[in-house]
Amino acid sequence: MVVMAILSVVLGSVVLSMQEGSDAWTASMESSTLDSKTERTLDRIVRLLEVSSLGSLDPDLFDTGDLTSDLGFREMVGFAAGSVQLGPERRLTLVLAPGELDNDLDDNGDGLADEQRLVLTETVGGTPRSIALAKGISELLAGETANGLDDNGNGLVDEPGLCFDGTGGTLNIRLSMEKVTSRGQLMTRTLETALTLE
């Protein structure tokens, strides 16, 4: 009986240790996946915008100091007669994910409330088309709540999960993405960068 009791305690400890190791590995993988997704999304936005002309961006962004999650831009496609030639307007827009309503609830059942997706709208051959570039973008940047205050201390108020603002010739880009882990916990990652345009 004593041997059986000792054996059950040892086996219980081994099983518990294995479970904790498995949970830690899963959490690490989920964290790494969200980190990579956030980095790829921000890189994709930067690649789209770095070939844009500063003059082609929505002017209010730089004139008023406002921020936006809906940015129109035009790519520089060449030079002619000493001036820059621009392609057709393209637009990055943050929209609610399919099945979501703007009501602070998880309407589409994926564990995230009011999550957004990033859409690129462009005209190809005279036909407008929209392409979803990323999903799982937070409704608001990490640390913010919709209360008219700067909750995360970055100098901006109630900024969306993807936002652009401009100062001088610099475009600031901020992005928060989220996912629900296998243990039902909300995980969020935030990245930001500044892009100098001409």
Task: Calculate the alpha carbon distances from 177 to 39, 64, 114, 136 in Å.
Answer: 10, 27, 12, 6
Burial class (CB in 10 A: 0-12, 13-18, 19+), 164: buried
| Gap between the Cα atoms of 29 and 116, Å rounded | 23
pLDDT tens by residue, 97-135: 999 998 988 899 888 889 999 999 988 778 889 999 999
Q: Radius of gyration of the chain from Cα atoms?
A: 23
Number of neighbouring beta carbons within 10 Å of residue 175: 24
| Gap between the Cα atoms of 163 and 192, Å rounded | 10
| Gap between the Cα atoms of 152 and 146, Å rounded | 12
Query: With 80 as the cut, is the pLDDT of residue 41 above it?
Result: yes
Query: With 80 as the cut, is the pLDDT of residue 53 above it?
Result: no
Q: Lowest mean pLDDT of 1-10, 83-92, 157-166, 176-185, name the range.
A: 1-10
CB 164 within 8 A of CB 69: yes
Query: With 90 as the cut, is the pLDDT of residue 148 above it?
Result: no
Structure tokens at 112: 């995230």
User: Which run of H or E residues covers position 171?
Assistant: strand 170-180
Confidence of residue 136 (pLDDT cuts 50, 70, 90): very high
| Gap between the Cα atoms of 105 and 114, Å rounded | 6
